[in-house]
Amino acid sequence: MSGNKKSIFYSIRTKLSLVMLAGAIIPLLVAVTVSYNFATEKATKDAIDSLQWQAKYMQSEFEGVVNDNLRTIQAVASAPSTIHYMQEPENQTYIDEELAFLASIDENLYDGSTTVITGADGMQLLANKDRLNDVSDREYFVQAMSGKTYVSDVMISRSTGNRLITFSTPIYIGGNVVGIVQRNYDLNNFHLILAQEAEGAFLVDRKGYVVASSMFAITPDDEIDMSGCEFMVSGKNEGVYAEGLKNNKTVVCYVKSDMTGFTICSFNNSKAITAAARQSSAIILIYGAVMALFTAFLAFLMAKSFTNPITAISRAFSEMAGGYMAKIDKYSDRKDEFGQMINDSNAVLDRLGSIFESIKNSAEEVERNADEISDMAQRISDNANELPAETVKEVEALADNAESLRVISQELGNQTRFFKK
């Protein structure tokens, strides 16, 4: 007789397997989570440090360009050849000397730009180029004529159409400003520097317009206005911020140039920053999944080693309830507690089997004796006419007792006849 079949979720095997599997998976998940959080935090911190260093480095590169150009035009403004030319602009000797001097300056800087002498009326007077323009409406001219050395915001060159900035400084004779020295700087040159030194960086002028970018060359038709961004409105000289969607932010580090007021920004995508951490966590998860499967297999085997002896004992007692005394022929050689349980169960089954066998044999013996007594009582009853009345009563009582014994022995037989060894 077998018990009702239980749901797999009520099985000790299932519960043991799940507990052992959880004991392996939960620490793994906790370790991966902690490791991922730590790795992403460290990767973000390292990325910010790198971006800040990059922004400051590119700022120093830009200020190096600015310094080179400012020192150059200031040297030109105070050079004797320049003073001679400004005093006698029609003197061909002075013109030739100044043009040669300007040519040597341009060759020394070697950036494709030209140095220009401009008169007090804003008309360009002298340069190693074919076309001279009226720049009287340009801010850099106004600032230089007021006595300041100036760096302009981004402009479109009237002669080339390229985006550029202009450096300007006054020319003094006798304490009076008689003209300016100006020099343009093609921003594609700084684009090349950014592209070589940084993956994601750009330069913004004082008005918030992008001057140069590491990712692409800005054409004359491009006008990228970033005046509303945090680095323009925060009022800080440097900082870090993130913008964009929650899972796809861009981290921006910025530094303002004290010399020009321009801003250098370095940036990177948060996904790129944490890519290594995610990859590392993915590898750990893959290894963890393999180990979890291996652990599940071991947990199943371990649970099976626990539940199989219990199932064998349960089956043996279930069969005993059906009248069959079957010893458990497995697991008795195990040296653990389950082996002890099997051997103890077999001992119980042996003992019960012997008891039931003894009861069965005794019942059969009683039934045989009762039959003999009943037969004897019947023979005596057949000769009752020849016996005294008292003897007949005793024989009848004996017959009744024999019948009672037969009923009892038959009942015992009925109860024990199903038991088999």
177 in the same domain as 134 = yes
Q: Angle at CA 191, nearest 5°, toward 205 and 52? A: 70
Angle between helices 80-87 and 12-78 (to 10 degrees): 60
Of the listed ranges 53-62, 134-143, 232-241, 330-339, the one predicted with least confidence: 330-339
pLDDT of residue 158: 63
What whole-number distance in Å separates Cα of residue 111 and Cα of residue 67? 14
148 in the same domain as 178 = yes
Give the residue numbers spanning the domain of 383: 337-416
Q: Is residue 162 part of a domain?
A: yes
Q: What is the pLDDT of residues 277-327, one digit of tens each?
A: 667 777 777 877 787 777 777 777 777 777 777 777 777 777 666 666 666
The structure tokens listed for 125 are 């007077």
What whole-number distance in Å separates Cα of residue 20 and Cα of residue 14? 10
Query: Which of 185, 202, 223 is the last residue before a domain boundary?
Result: 185
State the amino acid at position 192 in one-letter form: L
Q: What is the pLDDT of residues 210-225, one digit of tens each?
A: 888 888 888 777 788 8
Q: Is residue 31 part of a domain?
A: no
The closest of 279, 276, 275, 273 to 45, measured between CA atoms, is: 273
| Between 195 and 32, residue with greater pLDDT | 195
| CA pseudo-torsion sign 93, 95, 98, 104 | negative
pLDDT of residue 99: 93
What whole-number distance in Å separates Cα of residue 408 and Cα of residue 8? 46
The structure tokens listed for 388 are 């005294």
Q: Is residue 34 part of a domain?
A: no
Q: What is the pLDDT of residues 150-180, one digit of tens each?
A: 998 888 776 666 778 899 999 999 999 999 9
233 in the same domain as 145 = no
The structure tokens listed for 382 are 């057949």
377 in the same domain as 353 = yes
CA torsion angle for 215, 220, 221, 223 (degrees, to 10)?
A: 60
pLDDT of residue 147: 94
- Which residues lie closer than 8 Å to 18 by C-beta, 6 or more apart? none
345 in the same domain as 374 = yes
- Which residues lie closer than 8 Å to 152 by C-beta, 6 or more apart? 138, 139, 140, 165, 166, 167, 168
198 in the same domain as 95 = no
Number of domains in the chain: 3
Query: Which of 185, 220, 250 is the last residue before a domain boundary?
Result: 185
198 in the same domain as 153 = no
360 in the same domain as 267 = no
Query: Which of 274, 300, 326 is the last residue before a domain boundary?
Result: 274
266 in the same domain as 378 = no
